[in-house]
Amino acid sequence: MLSETKLLTAFSLRRNINRLTFELTTDPIQQDLRFLDAIRVYLITIITLVHVIIALGMTTSQNPEVIEKFLSGIGIQMLQTLLPLVVDVFLAISGILLTVRFIGYTEGRRFSIKPFWMGVVNRYLRSLPVYALVLLFSTSIFDRFQINPSAYRIIPMIRTICREKWWINLLFINNYYRPEEQCLMHTWYMAADIQLFIVGLTILMVLWKCSSLLRPMIYFLLVVGFILPMVNVYYNSMDAVTIINIKELAFIVWYDEWFTRNYQATETHFLCYFGGVLVGIIYHKMQKDDQLLAKSKLYTMLQYTTVPMMVLVCLPAPLLQLSNFSKPSVWMSIYAGVVRLVATSFGCVGWLLLLFAQPGSFFGKLRMSNMLQNAFYRVLGRLSFGYYLIHIIVMGAIYGIHHEAMRISVGLVIIVFCSTVLITLLLSLLAYILVEKPFDIIFKQLLSSGTREKEKNDTIISHTICNNHTDIPKQLNIIPEHSLELGDKLKE
């Protein structure tokens, strides 16, 4: 049972601030992977900027042609091929953290089903409090922050949808069940992340039980991950990639088929998530054989070819969009699979270069530089889950108070972006200290066993397997995105 003392201390401001800022210098895994916090912060910043620009095209202004010209540029259209893949980086981080912690926990232990259900239950409960609070705000007083006609057209629709479909979000199935009218459009990531977490945990449980299946499992998952995006594009008769059009911005996140049937679908992100799982497996194997990558001809080849391949897959995007091929198209489907495969290869090579680069090399210096190792990123990384959930609401409130006669400009984008970041950081800090961390502690205490030894083991399981929200957003959880901090509360 949860004692009154533990209940009260879970809401201690001083303790929760300390939990936000402390560093576990004795944890080698945290030291090896701490650069992921910086990458998460950079990516959630990019996502915020993209959302600010997209939302700008949804509002009424004196010069909407500015956004139209911006989006019609060939370079921007090519770049849009990569933008949907940004969220895959968060999912890959989740895969890395899950695998590294899971293998670290299970090595030398007898197989048990307990880590699976403990991982799933803890993951669900840790995602719930802040998520539920954001949903409650969206269905109640959010529209009171809107004063211009653009907001009146959009925000009441969001409130109505959320009042009807809030339970779909809390079941984390909103990316599949009735996705055409999404309650809080960005929360599709939450559903995809927890679904991939369950799939990834299942794969790791199978490998724990039958380690001899490792090689065939890797081949099988690579093939499946390559085929799934192809099947999705062909079955739904869609383009492999999409180019945002200002005429469609107002409702692109609700009714656009590519967004609802492809971008939000978990299977299209499976390959990138599995890439993170593969990196986590290689991380542990490198602890026993530090020449593993040096002996791999495939890894050596990919180091020199992934960047050119990324450029090549971006080049055809505008052409494929303008050509308007009849669909379903076999070639369009193949292109969709190739884009995901190249992006996964690029990501895996990048993670491995940062993890195992020699200290004096370019990547070794980059990994140890303040760009990736500053303690400030660790704090921001722990706030990233709340940040991802809250930033859309803050951005909507900011645009909702702008006058309809505003003119689109770089200065306006900068003002909205900076305001969104600063206000969201403040609110995510309050959410972490007052909601996310207290309920995290309470749930762990409630799920722990009666005996001291079992309680200790359950706590280890919860921390080693469930500190992987990503992001998003902590994951994002954003981003985005969401990945929970490494080693959080092992000190407690």
Say if CB 483 and CB 94 are below 8 A apart: yes
pLDDT band (50, 70, 90) for residue 148 = low
Residue type, 82: L
Instruction: Supply the DSSP symbol for 471.
Output: E
For 413-431, the DSSP string reads HHHHHHHHHHHHHHHHHHH
Say if CB 353 and CB 112 are below 8 A apart: no
* CB proximity list for 60: less than 8 A, separation 6 or greater: 148, 149, 150, 404
Alpha-carbon gap, residue 86 to 402, rounded angstroms: 29
Q: How far, CA to CA in Å, does 144 sit from each of 147, 152, 266, 401? A: 8, 10, 34, 10
Please name which of 341, 344, 345, 343 lies closest in space to residue 300, comparing C-alpha atoms.
345
Say if CB 122 and CB 447 are below 8 A apart: yes
pLDDT for 441-478, tens place per residue? Answer: 888 888 775 434 444 444 444 444 444 444 333 333 32
Q: Find out whether the peptide bond into 156 is cis, omega within 30 degrees of 0.
A: no
438-451 as b/e: b if 16+ CB within 10 A: bbbbbbbbebbeee
pLDDT for 217-226, tens place per residue? Answer: 999 999 999 9
Look at residue 28 and tell me whether its pLDDT is greater than 50.
yes
Helix 35-58, helix 410-431: angle, nearest 10? 130
pLDDT for 96-131, tens place per residue? Answer: 999 999 998 888 889 989 889 888 998 999 889 999
Alpha-carbon gap, residue 384 to 364, rounded angstroms: 26
Look at residue 481 and tell me whether its pLDDT is greater than 60.
no
pLDDT for 310-354, tens place per residue? Answer: 888 877 766 766 666 777 888 889 988 999 999 999 999 999 999
Phi-psi group of 110: left, alpha or beta (phi > 0 → left; psi -120 to 50 → alpha; rest → beta): beta
Length of the chain: 492
Average pLDDT estimate for 252-266: 81
Alpha-carbon gap, residue 333 to 413, rounded angstroms: 36
Which range in 381-385, 418-422, 438-442, 470-474 is most confidently predicted, on average pLDDT? 418-422
Around Cβ 475, how many Cβ atoms within 10 Å? 34
How many Cα atoms sit within 13 Å of 467 on the Cβ side? 25
Look at residue 393 and tell me whether its pLDDT is greater than 50.
yes
The pLDDT, as a whole number, for residue 77 is 74
pLDDT band (50, 70, 90) for residue 24 = low
Say if CB 420 and CB 398 are below 8 A apart: yes
Please name which of 230, 314, 222, 309 lies closest in space to residue 271, comparing C-alpha atoms.
222
The pLDDT, as a whole number, for residue 152 is 63
pLDDT for 206-220, tens place per residue? Answer: 999 998 999 999 999
pLDDT band (50, 70, 90) for residue 1 = low
* CB proximity list for 268: less than 8 A, separation 6 or greater: 228, 229, 232, 262, 336, 340
* CB proximity list for 65: less than 8 A, separation 6 or greater: none
The pLDDT, as a whole number, for residue 461 is 44
Tell me the torsion sign for CA atoms 94, 83, 387, 170: negative
Considering the chain, what is the average pLDDT of its residues? 82
- Map tokens 């099947």 to a residue: 231
Helix 375-400, helix 35-58: angle, nearest 10? 10
Q: Please, which residues bridge with residue 474 across strands?
A: 471
